[in-house]
Amino acid sequence: MSTYLNAKSNRIVELMDRSAEQRDADWLKEATQQAILLELATLPPYLCGLWSIDDTGGDERVPDALRVVVFDEMSHLGLACNLLTTIGGTPRLADETVVPTYPGPLPGGVRPGLTVTLGGLTKASLEMYAQIEEPDDPVVNAGVAAHTSIGAFYTAILDAFRAHPELIRGFRQLTRNMEHHGSGNSVVPLTTLGAVESAIGVIKEQGEGTSASPENPHPGERGELAHFYVFREIYHGRELVKVSDDPPRWAFEGPEIPMPRTLPMGIVPRGGWPREGPAAADAGTTELLDTFNHSYSAMLRLLEQAWQQDVPAQAKELLNNAVSRMFTLQEPAQSLMRRPLPDGSGQTYGPEFRYVAP
């Protein structure tokens, strides 16, 4: 296993330090693999927040907004895989050294100092989500990022594609129609520079917005915000609205957004929930934890195999199976979130998202 594939490496920082002349085919393969790991790393924390919502019949704005973010991130993962395979690379998604673990850093050294955790939806988790997605120059909470952002990394990838359009060969391109989740959400073949530019634009702008507006330019519904601003709205409990046209200015001064009632999932400790000792989970909880981890791992293997397939029909079947497997994860996750921790804190278990070999 190459060291650059390790989820805890600083490979993105190292890649960004390379000059434009050094950003060749090998650089692009490494960079797009790192992009895949970044997209994968965001899904578990966002899913834990979404699944912890226990507010049946309540205000649906927060769970609906989080569902949109999750589906966007799923399509970004698929597009990132197509970015790698179109230049002849092979995505790695199913290896314990590759799959991000929690608590831990974002892959590649992006946002150093940020520790990504798994827990329920809280003010603290919303702050963490926003830090993951923060643009270099947000239109509110303005400030220049001191370190590499996800958007800046994708800009570097796009520049490399523009410098080497001859590398785009259209190998093993998977497709999935997800237009019902937004105009830019389908996983599409990336066989031309124009298609690559569009895909990277979707990934960047759905997460960060643009320098001029917090709105998602590729929305499912009109007025949908980019992910960074969605998280800030929920955190502030107010909609982000435009309060001035000249100069353009936005503020969290719109209608109230109530925080939903949630299941009190605790923060998954390093190494996962204890299986031994006085704090060990009971047999039923351990079985649920293992069931979830095995299903999650099987999903990752299916995704990896899908992008290894040269026969389109077989690749599509593997992708469909992976998506189906993903939808089976919610039930054991929420069952865990209803099981109290043995420490008397009032908090509960939750999924670990740990990779286990078959």
Instruction: Give me the CATH number covering residue 118.
Output: 1.20.1260.10
* Residue 346 Ramachandran class (φ > 0 left, ψ -120 to 50 alpha, else beta): left
Asked if residue 228 belongs to a domain, the reply is yes
What count of Cα atoms within 13 Å lies in the side-chain half-sphere of residue 239? 12
Asked if residue 244 belongs to a domain, the reply is yes
Asked if residue 174 belongs to a domain, the reply is yes
Asked if residue 162 belongs to a domain, the reply is yes
How many other CB atoms are found less than 10 A from the CB of residue 38? 25
CA nearest 39: which of 90, 78, 1, 77? 77
**Domain, as residue range, for 260:** 3-265
CB of 229 within 8 A of CB of 140?
Answer: yes
One-letter identity of residue 121: L
Q: What is the separation of C-alpha 38 from the centre of its chain, rounded to a whole number of angstroms?
A: 7
What count of Cα atoms within 13 Å lies in the side-chain half-sphere of residue 326? 17
Tell me the two tokens of residue 271.
């190494």
Q: Quick one: pLDDT at residue 3?
A: 42
Bridge partners of 245, per DSSP, are 248
Contacts of 319 (CB under 8 A, 6+ apart): 174, 176, 302, 303, 306
How far, CA to CA in Å, does 237 sit from each of 31, 64, 123, 148, 213? Answer: 37, 15, 10, 28, 20
Q: Is 154 exposed, middle or buried (0-12, 13-18, 19+ CB in 10 A)?
A: buried
Q: Quick one: pLDDT at residue 59?
A: 84
Is 26 in a helix, a strand, or coil? helix
Instruction: Please state the domain count of the chain.
Output: 1
Asked if residue 101 belongs to a domain, the reply is yes
Asked if residue 9 belongs to a domain, the reply is yes
Q: What is the DSSP letter of 60?
A: -
Instruction: Say which residue the tokens 């290894």 belong to.
Output: 308
Asked if residue 343 belongs to a domain, the reply is no
How many other CB atoms are found less than 10 A from the CB of residue 115? 12
The Cα 34–Cα 17 span in angstroms is 15
pTM, entire model: 0.92
Cis preceding-peptide flag for 358 (omega within 30 of 0): no
Helices (H), 86-111: none
Q: What is the separation of C-alpha 181 from the centre of its chain, rounded to a whole number of angstroms?
A: 16
**Alpha-carbon torsion angle 268, 102, 357, 349, nearest 10:** 10
Q: Quick one: pLDDT at residue 113?
A: 85
| Per-10-residue mean pLDDT, the chain, length 358 | 57 89 94 94 97 85 93 93 97 92 91 92 96 75 56 92 96 87 79 95 79 71 84 94 84 93 96 91 95 96 96 94 93 97 94 94
Bridge partners of 53, per DSSP, are 262
Asked if residue 312 belongs to a domain, the reply is no
